[in-house]
Amino acid sequence: MKNNIKKPGLILACLILLMGILAGCGSSSDTAGGSSDQNQGSSSAEGEFKGTVKVGGLFDITGATGDVGEPYARGEEAFVEYINSKGGVNGYKIELIGEDYGYKIPEAQKLYTRFKSKEKVSAILGWGTGDTEALRQQVAADKIPFFSASYSENLKNIEESPYNFLTAASYSDQARSVLKWIKDNHEGGTPKVALIYNDTPFGKSPIEDAKNFAAEIGVDIVDEQIVDLKALDATSQLLNMKKKNPDYAIIQETWGATATILKDAKKLGIETQFIGLNWATGEGLIPLAQDAAEGFIGVVTHAFPYEDLPGMAEVKEYLESKGETLESKDQKFIQGWVTAKILAEGIRLAGDDLSGEGIRKGIEQIQNLDLGGLAAPVTFGPDDHAGTNQIRLARVENGKFEVFTDYIGY
Amino acid sequence: MRNPFVMECGEFRASYKEDMALYKIPRVRYRVYAIIAFFAVFPLIFPEYYVGLATLCGIAAIGAIGLNILTGFTGLISIGVGAFLGVGGYTSAILTTKLGLSFWISFPLAGIVTAAVGALFGIPSLRLKGLYLAMATLAAQVIILFVISHWDSLTGGTAGMVLQRPSIGGYMLSSETGYYYLMFVILIFTAIFAMNLFRSRTGRAFVAVRDRDLAAEVMGINLFKYKVLAFAVSSFFVGIAGALLGHYTMIVSPELYSIQVSIEYLAMILVGGLGSVMGSIYGAVFITLLPVVLRGLIETLSVFMPGLEGVFAGLREVVFGAIIILFLIYEPEGLAKMWRNLKDYFKLWPFSY
């Protein structure tokens, strides 16, 4: 009997060894596999390229933030395919080597090592707060410009993160702009504001700055509540908040927790005007919160696909060439598109110096880049890696975000 | 022809020294030297990418050996490894950036501080066993991470801290190869220490505690002392791994030490083999490389079957879970036991009985 048990173990061991051998061979050919897929769209223009610029992509498709990470990644891929079909940048083809890291930092670390050592990428399009934070020292040492969808204020520190760029208003700037808007539009006395956030680097990022700015411009922060990102109940926090009776509450959460807060607030009959920062805003919130979302104000850093904007024309052109429509896409797709577009502009300004350092210099030359309304115009400089502090605000009306301000700052 | 796998025939030990040797047969000893020599020249042969992966595997192996001392040898389960890695990383970060100490001083200190913290959280282990101890160490994980992310003045809060790569005699270990050798030396030291530990009185006491703690106490082993000592020794190595990882990624932030990391380390020793030093290394390599290998496999297959990539992306987690279940069912003693089985099989081949 004992021997019967041993044999499957042996077979398993052999299988695992075999898998290892297969993959060892496989990993050497995967670049060829990846790029041949991407070439298909632009095979006619194949011979015209002067060379290739490799860009690494850390995507979250399957991880905790996959719901928003997937369209964002598709947006980046779409733009790269679009620009290559237009002849690339300065005659160079952009090759985006995107991989899913499942929102796991050790995974991101391994992919980063691969991008740096094996693929020799010149820039990286990252994703979350965790991976951006974990890699910011390494990209600085290896001189690889890094764009991500984490708009954390400490990435602005050029001494510590010389190769990180913020392509939209940082969370702190968003909060400041919202506070400024509250101050300008509030009627009757000093506005009272509450802050609702989660106890993570993402959640706590804008809080200190928001409090300091509020004190500066004369807005009272009357309450702070912590609601977990995965919370399904926020009643006790909202009851505590209700005692302070704030006029406004700024939410720094993702869709799930925001929907929980809005639904519980409706149940408890709270009259406070809720204002969410950019990750609380988006199409995904509406089905979760349903009619509780009505009247919710969200910070919009990137345009919705249903908006009529000049920049939307090329997105539409690309999607139509693929037999898709704008209606099937969401705001995170546009966000990815815009991020890749800003990087492409940096590569264009870098000219023929396509090293990481060259591209950094190129990005730093970007002045008031017009994104056709898809996002606020961005400007970078050698000592300023925050592209903009401008945002728009949108209110949910009849189950749809309707933008009601122009780009505003503080 | 003489069976090449049979090498234990006619083997006699004439002294206690020979009887105590780690590797009793000269040929096995040479094989170990050959393996060490291979990994010593590894970075000179292979491209940088593989050296980077090997460094990550090695750092994980140091932590896994640490955890195995506690869980595999002493039988005390801990799900606080992630946080203990954090203690090591943060101690080194604070000592080097705030106090300006050199890496070579702060690195062992990181191990000692983690050992102290580990021993502190090990105190309940005298009264708690099994699941209850798991909950107590889970509390350690939560408490330590809470302290790290809220003690802003010391740890920089959620923003984390920035570290430097160490330098040796004016030469910065900034390249993958340089850091690989640092990891390699420490891994060898850790492995030799752990192997020797279980030939000593202390190590045997650990094993006795694991097998039956009541019986161990009857035999005169001070349970409290040895349980806390196991936590301290184990945490020392976990802390050292944490400091190494911190200086490798050059950043420490609370996000890097979540409960997921703890579970990954438990998976390493489970897959590698509980109570086996070499098993910890196999397991660490296996779990670290599993996603890399799977990704490579999927990419190779998707050349022949386009569209497979999307399906497999979600399947990765499933494979991870399935492998752990398969190990639990078919080989609870892990990769180390599989390797032994394989050797035994060939030793008797072709006559298995």
Instruction: Please name the residues between 62 and 121 in chain A that touch chain B, using a CB distance below 8 Å.
Output: 62, 99-100, 102, 104-107, 109-110, 113-114, 116-118
Looking at residue B312, its pLDDT comes to 63
d(CA A76, CA A57): 9
User: What residues contact residue A105 under an 8 Å CB cut-off, 6+ apart?
Assistant: A130, A131, A134, B255, B256
| Tokens of residue B157, six digits | 């809060």
Do the chains contact at B250 and A10, CB–CB below 8 Å? Answer: no
Cα A291 to Cα A236, A247, A267, A298, B15, distances in angstroms:
21, 21, 12, 15, 84
Q: What is the pLDDT of residue B308?
A: 66
SS3 for A188? coil
Query: From the CA of A41, how many Å to the nearest CA of chain B?
Result: 15
Which tokens sit at A207? 């809080």
Structure confidence at residue A14 (pLDDT)? 46
Q: B343: helix, coil or strand?
A: helix
Place of tokens 């048990």: A5
Q: Yes or no: say if A196 and A227 are a contact pair by the CB < 8 Å rule.
A: yes
CA distance B201 to chain A (A): 33
Specify the 3-state DSSP secondary structure of A197: strand
Q: Where are the beta strands (DSSP E) in A212-353?
A: 220-226, 248-252, 273-276, 297-300
Per the listing, tokens 């609380």 go with A280
Distance of alpha carbon B200 from alpha carbon B89, whole angstroms: 30
Give the single-character DSSP code of A125.
E
β strands within B12-68, DSSP E: none
Nearest-CA distance A377 → chain B (Å): 28
Contacts of A170 in chain B (CB under 8 A): none
The residue to which tokens 């596999």 are assigned: A33
* Distance of alpha carbon A194 from the chain centroid: 25
- Secondary structure letter of residue A91 according to DSSP: T
Nearest residue in chain B measured CA to CA from A118? B49
N- to C-terminal Cα separation, chain B: 19
pLDDT along chain B (353 residues), means of 10: 60 79 80 91 89 93 95 91 94 91 92 95 85 90 91 81 81 84 94 92 93 91 93 95 92 85 91 91 92 82 71 73 88 88 80 65
Report whether B309 contacts A26 (CB < 8 A): no
- Cα of B107 to nearest chain A Cα, Å: 20
Taking a C-beta distance cutoff of 8 angstroms, is the pair A298, A280 a contact? yes
Given a contact cutoff of 8 angstroms between Cβ atoms, the answer to whether B73 and B198 are in contact is yes
Whole-number average pLDDT of chain B: 87
Q: Are A120 and A112 in contact (CB under 8 A)?
A: no
Whole-angstrom distance, CA of residue B9 vs CA of residue B72:
31
Q: What is the pLDDT of residue B9?
A: 63
Q: Which two tokens stand for residue A76?
A: 């980046």
Dihedral sign for Cα B92, B93, B98, B101, please. Answer: positive
3-state secondary structure (DSSP) of residue A194: strand
Pick from A144, A109, A113, A111: which is nearest to A130 by CA?
A109
Output the pLDDT for position A276.
Answer: 93
The DSSP element (H or E) to which B224 belongs, if any, is helix B223-249
Predicted local distance difference test score (pLDDT) of residue B266: 92
Question: What is the C-alpha to C-alpha distance for residues A269 and B352, in angstroms, rounded to an integer?
Answer: 78
Q: What pTM was estimated for this model as a whole?
A: 0.79
Q: At what angle do helices B277-304 and B176-197 cross, to 10 degrees?
A: 140
In order of their start, the domains of chain A are: 48-169+310-364 (3.40.50.2300), 171-300+392-403 (3.40.50.2300)
Query: Strand (E) positions, B133-235?
Result: 161-162, 167-168, 171-172
Tokens of A242: 């209700």
pLDDT given at position B18? 79
Size of interface A-B (CB pairs under 8 A): 148
Distance in angstroms between the alpha carbons of the first and the last residue of chain A:
76
Q: How many CB atoms lie within 10 A of CB A365?
A: 16
**C-alpha R_g of chain A:** 23
> pLDDT by residue for chain A (410 residues), tens digit each?
344 444 544 454 444 444 444 444 433 333 333 333 333 434 444 557 888 999 999 998 887 788 888 899 999 999 999 999 988 888 899 999 988 888 888 788 888 988 988 888 999 999 988 788 888 888 988 899 999 888 888 888 888 889 999 989 999 999 999 999 999 998 888 899 999 998 877 888 899 899 999 999 989 999 999 998 888 899 999 999 999 999 999 999 988 899 999 999 999 999 899 999 988 998 889 999 888 999 999 999 999 998 888 889 999 999 999 888 888 888 999 999 999 999 999 999 988 888 889 999 999 999 988 888 899 999 998 888 888 889 999 999 998 899 999 888 88
**Which residues in B lie closer than 8 A to residue A137 (C-beta atoms)?**
162-163, 249-251
Are residues B303 and A5, on separate chains, in Cβ contact within 8 Å?
no
Alpha-carbon distances, residue A165 vs A97, B162, B234, B244, B306 (angstroms): 19, 18, 41, 28, 35
Kindly list the residues from chain B whose CB atom is less than 8 angstroms away from the CB atom of residue A133.
159-160, 251, 253, 255
- Cβ-based neighbour number of residue A323 at 10 Å: 6
CA distances from B247 to A138, B65, B98, B244 (A): 11, 20, 15, 5
- pLDDT recorded at residue B235: 95
* CA–CA distance, B330 with B155 (Å, rounded to integer): 44
Q: Which of B311, B316, B333, B338 to mutate to test the interface with A (most CBs of A within 10 A)?
A: B338
Asked if residue A27 lies in contact with residue A70, where contact means CB atoms within 8 angstroms, the answer is no
Quote the pLDDT of residue A47: 58
Question: Which residues in chain B are contacts of A204 at CB distance < 8 A?
Answer: 157-158
Residue A57 backbone phi and psi in degrees, to 5? -130, 120
Q: What is the pLDDT of residue B24?
A: 76
3-state helix, strand, coil in chain A (%, to 5): 50, 20, 30
CA distance B219 to chain A (A): 33
CA distance A41 to A38: 6
In whole angstroms, how far apart are CA A47 and each of A39, A318, B48? Answer: 11, 22, 31
Instruction: Please give the structure tokens belonging to residue A255.
Output: 């869709």
